[in-house]
Structure 1
Amino acid sequence: LIINGIHSGEIEGKDASMILLREILVTKEKEKMLDNVILLVIPVFSVDGHERFGKYNRINQNGPEEMGWRTTAQNLNLNRDWMKADAPEMKAMLKLFSSWLPDFIIDNHTTDGADYLYVMTFGIEYFKNSYSETELMLRSKFAPFLYEKMNQTGFLSHGYVWLKDWVKGLDSGITEGPGAPRFSTGYAAIQNRPALLVETHMLKPYKERVFSTKVAMEAVIEFCSDNKVEIIELNGKADRNSIINLLEKKEKLPVGFKVSGKSVKTPFKGVKYYKEKSEISGDEKIVYTNEKENLVLDLFNDVQIVKEVSVPNLYIIPSEWSLIVERMRLHGVKVDTLKEDKIFDVKRYRFSDIKFEEKPFEGRNRVSFTINEYYEKRKIPAGSYIVSTDQRTIKVIVNLLEPEAEDSFIKWGFFNAIFEQKEYFEAYVMEKISQEMIKKDPQLKKEFDEKLSLDEKFKNDPNARLNFFYERSPYYDSQLNVYPVMKVE
């Protein structure tokens, strides 16, 4: 699967694909490329973004003369939408993805950032977020093959250049790490499929960027053709072993990563640059020259797992949250419906320390929280949704439904209504009830007095003092801040 124009201002992939398809289908000079490969090509993913055509859409980019826009008509960035699938374009893409289930994915882009000599940079998911044998194949076999092909054609290439500090520039070093599932390649990783992020350098001439992209695509097609049996078998093995490892062997699934402060030295083909005081910003600015320079940079690529979760046998989703189920089915997840009432022992989550981001991100106000677990026996009504994790999309399911996962539904704000208190007390009513509660429970009075002595803010807040009793009364909403999705372990 070749994806172009997910950001339609970064459009050389479309032109490169059209040239390649012409050589395969019209002139026939490269028709043998399809002998062992089925090729799916999306010329332009963000169609509305592509039609927002103009000369001034990419301030950092050297051509073409006109290009499309970064986002959709709804101002959504499709390469942040792979999990939440808010955009209609992404809904269509996920239907295609789950029906075809491609064995290798290419996502063509143009990069921003520093200046250097490389025409092309690549992002490859081999940082603990992919199936272990897939990572090994990508690192030891595919990456060397790809870089050799690029070098043979004269296009200097490097791993994706992500600056450790975007203000300090290359002085701070560069980092490599796993992509979150909101991104195309990170999403492919949790679908157990290898993927390549193609990022041409924005300042290189457009023609070079187009033809280097074409060479990269040809290299991937050749690799897939030469290794078709291995790739197909490896993808199937990744699907099967993900279930075995997470369900039968009870291994935990990593859902959070960080790049540590450890670094190694790496050669880097750059250009000379210096820093000087800017009269405009008043800050120090970086000035790149046209003089080549072989640099040695710090490369930070020591990836550590910071969050991992146990995988249950089932998730239970109440019928009123059908929107979640609709989105999950787009991802190829099989969801059943409970035919009759049934009692389950379930694991629940109650949230505290809830904080919403002040500004929306991709049309949603994301939320963070502290998770508190508890167990209960609960009668689940007929019509509730049952999601078994015993299916090939097991990693997708967990990343969508586990609150600790960075791109889970709840962190993207799909469940924000559960954090809203809908019933409130009148002070004069709560005063009376509080007195009655103290009379019946001396220990409660002791807890109240202790909090008064230790918490000055609480002591001086009349509403908080009354709320202390309200939260401990039978009138308090027992479902406030409780995650509706339940787990059966």
Structure 2
Amino acid sequence: MFANVIMLSTVLSMNGHLPPLIPWQGKSLQLIQSSGPLTTDFELSGGEVSPTYEDTMKFVDRLIAANPTQFSSVTIGESFGQREIKMIVASENGQFSANMIKSNGKPTILIQAGIHSGEIDGKDAGFMLLRDIATGKRRDLLSKANILFIPILNVDGHERRSKFNRINQRGPIEMGFRTNGNNLNLNRDYTKVDTPEVKAVLQVINSYNPDLYVDVHVTDGADYQYDITYGYTPAFASESPKIASVLEEKFQPHIDNKLSQQGHTPGPLVFVMNKREFKEGLAGWIAAPRFSNGWGDIANVPSILVENHSLKPYKQRVLGTYVLLDGAIDALSIHHQTLKAATMVEQVTPRELVVERQYAKEPIYIPFKGIKYKKFESALSGQTEVKYLGEAQTYEKLPIYWKKEIVNKVMVPDAFYIPSTYSFIVDKLKIQGIEIDLITTSEPVSNIKQPEVSDYKFDRLPFEGRFRVKAEFNYLSVDPKNLEGWYKVSTEQGRGKLATHLLHPEAPDSFFAWGDFHTIFQRTEYVENYALVPYARSMLKDNPKLALEFDKKLRENKNFESDPKARLNWLYSKTPYYDQGYLKYPILMQYKPKQREVEK
């Protein structure tokens, strides 16, 4: 008791800089046990502590020992820091292998916690839920679904524990760090797959084929009444709209009802347009494929992103997560056939694919449960700042700007062709669960386009360890005579949309944009002027059309006319000695004969 009093005093002093709270006494408080088998560290601390990696792994072992007929654990990967990434597999009849899970007639939910290990609510909520199953209190849950639970994905970041990792979050007292041991954000890695942690998750999804994927986070941003916010890509901006509609129409009402009955306030997954003026409205974010839920939308994996409200107490957030997971399992048991049917429909790859969106200029209006605030002029920042007052304020019609306006969409090729020298790209595609064929014959292929970079710009600073690049392209018709030994990626497959996002160079989360093809920007063979000048003179003499083009360029472009280097480089580019791979995207794209692809 005395230790709990000291702990509570510590928490109050640490949170003194945060906005005042609206008092909460939810029914879900009854879920906490103070003693008995498998009482969690979270519960023993009065809802203020989350255990270390070592203690977490010990609890995994105790959980399985308590019910080995229905619980097992598997190591799904190892971090760069050589820590094991564990997953608990829970099945009613002790069927733990991936093949058994897929064939036992029950739907499967994958629950992932600690991708940002400072946002660790899902770990402690999941342990309470599994404990209640293991001890018989909630054994009904395994009659509804198989459960896959990753308590900590970012295991290295988890051990970078501190009381000072998240200034705007109420607990736990010590929490992990946002990025992994290499300072990479795992929830930006679902396309480039640089991290062993995300590779492990993708392999789990490919092996177990879960019907629902739930990724648990804690949000940043403004203050509001909602304690549990969650969402998915809405149907109007989704590349898997049938799946999105089932989540919206079947799952969300069920989960919201569970949360409300237990004293929680569920809300939409939104952010704030202007953090210093809440009334300007909300940002309806649409996740790109680099994020877990954006990847799920493209890969036809029904996904829910949970973003608990960081300003609510840790105990309240964890209990709300328990209720949400309970509701998600229940909804999955009821609606899994409808969800599975929608998932099957979305296996068909469209002929066009939206690869980039921006926020709409015109909002829609929604009711929203906010918190009163006042503005003041800060002598520290030199600008107007916001102070939240801890009093409820409901907006009847608050504007929300959804990120739904289309910036760019691309024609989806029938197939991509990857040269054998880029086999590392093939390896990445295999991790993504994309089907690939090795070409073993020398038969020619037709209707092939090759993107050529016409303009480009590298980011000034690295992002997630990469110097990203944006480019514009011309699409050249090419006639490859022999692609034997190359790899073919057909887009007529379940993950054809994902393959297009990864391989089409105009997609912002493509391998190209992330920097896997930076070598095409290098020229490695050069020319001496004493050799080029006589060769070019002869070339222009033999090619009057080219000579006229050169003269016209001299007349119309004074910068070109006055720049000897530019003149000679242009002439060199017209010779057969010029590097034919320079600025050429090495992956070829095949289109149907009648499918139009503009040569820019």
Q: Same fold (TM over 0.5)?
A: yes
Q: Which residue of 1 aligns with 2:578?
A: 476
Q: Which residue of 1 aligns with 2:424?
A: 323
1:53 and 2:153 equivalent? no
Residue 421 of structure 1, CA deviation: 1.2
1:304 and 2:304 equivalent? no
| Counterparts of 2:330 and 2:277, CA distance in 1 | 36
Alignment of 1:375-390 (within 5 A): 375-390=477-492
Q: Which residue of 2 aligns with 1:137?
A: 246
1:370 and 2:478 equivalent? no
Alignment of 1:163-242 (within 5 A): 163-166=272-275, 168-239=276-347, 242=348
Q: Which moved more, 1:8-17 or 1:473-482?
A: 473-482
Q: Which residue of 1 aligns with 2:439?
A: 338
Note closer, same or farther for the CA distance 1:427–1:171 as it changes in structure 2 (3 Å cut): farther
Q: Which residue of 2 aligns with 1:393?
A: 495
What amino acid sits opposite 1:331 in the alignment? Q
Contact 1:16 1:213 in 2 (8 A): yes
| Counterparts of 1:170 and 1:342, CA distance in 2 | 62
- 236, 260, 263: which one pairs with 2:363? 263
What amino acid sits opposite 1:380 in the alignment? N
| Counterparts of 1:90 and 1:435, CA distance in 2 | 56
| Counterparts of 1:162 and 1:456, CA distance in 2 | 50
List, as ranges, runs of 4+ consecutive aligned residues in structure 1 with deviation greater than 4 Å. Answer: none
Q: Which residue of 1 aligns with 2:449?
A: 347
Q: Which runs of 5+ in 2 are unaligned?
A: 1-109, 592-600
- CA-based RMSD of the aligned residues comes to 1.7
Q: Which residue of 2 aligns with 1:8?
A: 117
Residue 459 of structure 1, CA deviation: 3.0
Contact 2:281 2:398 in 1 (8 A): yes
TM-score, structure 1 normalization = 0.94
What amino acid sits opposite 1:337 in the alignment? L
- 328, 352, 356: which one pairs with 1:252? 352
SS at match of 1:44: coil
Note closer, same or farther for the CA distance 1:473–1:185 as it changes in structure 2 (3 Å cut): same
| Counterparts of 1:469 and 1:35, CA distance in 2 | 74
What amino acid sits opposite 2:441 in the alignment? E
| Counterparts of 1:447 and 1:254, CA distance in 2 | 38
What amino acid sits opposite 1:412 in the alignment? W
Contact 2:502 2:510 in 1 (8 A): yes
SS at match of 2:445: strand
1:277 and 2:374 equivalent? no
Note closer, same or farther for the CA distance 1:351–1:116 as it changes in structure 2 (3 Å cut): same
1:114 and 2:222 equivalent? yes
Residue 76 of structure 1, CA deviation: 0.8
Q: Which residue of 2 aligns with 1:31?
A: 139
| Counterparts of 1:459 and 1:60, CA distance in 2 | 59
Q: Which residue of 1 aligns with 2:393?
A: 293
What amino acid sits opposite 1:257 in the alignment? R
Contact 1:99 1:332 in 2 (8 A): no
1:99 and 2:211 equivalent? no
SS at match of 2:205: helix
What amino acid sits opposite 2:304 in the alignment? L
TM-score, structure 2 normalization = 0.77
Contact 1:3 1:108 in 2 (8 A): yes
What amino acid sits opposite 2:303 in the alignment? A
Contact 1:421 1:480 in 2 (8 A): yes
| Counterparts of 1:465 and 1:237, CA distance in 2 | 55
What amino acid sits opposite 1:83 in the alignment? T
| Counterparts of 2:502 and 2:282, CA distance in 1 | 30
Q: Which residue of 1 aligns with 2:541?
A: 439
Task: Summarize deviations over 1:236-274 as a string: whole Å, max 9, x none.
Answer: 3322xx14xx3xxxx322222223111122222222222
Q: Which residue of 2 aligns with 1:89?
A: 197
Residue 110 of structure 1, CA deviation: 0.5
Task: Summarize deviations over 1:38-73 as a string: whole Å, max 9, x none.
Answer: 111000001111111111111221111100111111
SS at match of 1:316: strand
Task: Summarize deviations over 1:289-323 as a string: whole Å, max 9, x none.
Answer: 22322234211137233322233332211001010
1:456 and 2:558 equivalent? yes
Contact 1:170 1:297 in 2 (8 A): no
SS at match of 2:258: helix
**Which structure: larger Rg?**
2
Task: Summarize deviations over 1:171-225 as a string: whole Å, max 9, x none.
Answer: 3311214211111111111121221111111111110011111111111111001
Count of residues paired in the alignment: 479
Residue 84 of structure 1, CA deviation: 1.0
Residue 435 of structure 1, CA deviation: 2.7
| Counterparts of 1:154 and 1:72, CA distance in 2 | 34
What amino acid sits opposite 2:476 in the alignment? Y
SS at match of 2:346: helix
| Counterparts of 1:434 and 1:276, CA distance in 2 | 70
| Counterparts of 1:445 and 1:460, CA distance in 2 | 18
Note closer, same or farther for the CA distance 1:165–1:435 as it changes in structure 2 (3 Å cut): farther
Q: Which moved more, 1:7-16 or 1:313-322?
A: 313-322
Q: Which moved more, 1:228-237 or 1:353-362?
A: 228-237
Note closer, same or farther for the CA distance 1:147–1:354 as it changes in structure 2 (3 Å cut): same
What amino acid sits opposite 1:108 in the alignment? V
- 181, 185, 196: which one pairs with 1:77? 185
Q: Which residue of 1 aligns with 2:531?
A: 429
| Counterparts of 2:144 and 2:372, CA distance in 1 | 45
| Counterparts of 1:450 and 1:353, CA distance in 2 | 22
Contact 1:125 1:194 in 2 (8 A): no
SS at match of 2:190: coil
Query: Which protein, 1 or 2, shows the higher relative CO under an 8 Å CA cutoff with sep ≥ 6?
Result: 1
| Counterparts of 1:172 and 1:476, CA distance in 2 | 55
Residue 3 of structure 1, CA deviation: 0.6
- 590, 594, 597: which one pairs with 1:488? 590
What amino acid sits opposite 2:213 in the alignment? I
Contact 2:250 2:335 in 1 (8 A): no
Residue 169 of structure 1, CA deviation: 4.0
Residue 105 of structure 1, CA deviation: 0.9
Contact 1:128 1:178 in 2 (8 A): yes
| Counterparts of 1:189 and 1:13, CA distance in 2 | 22
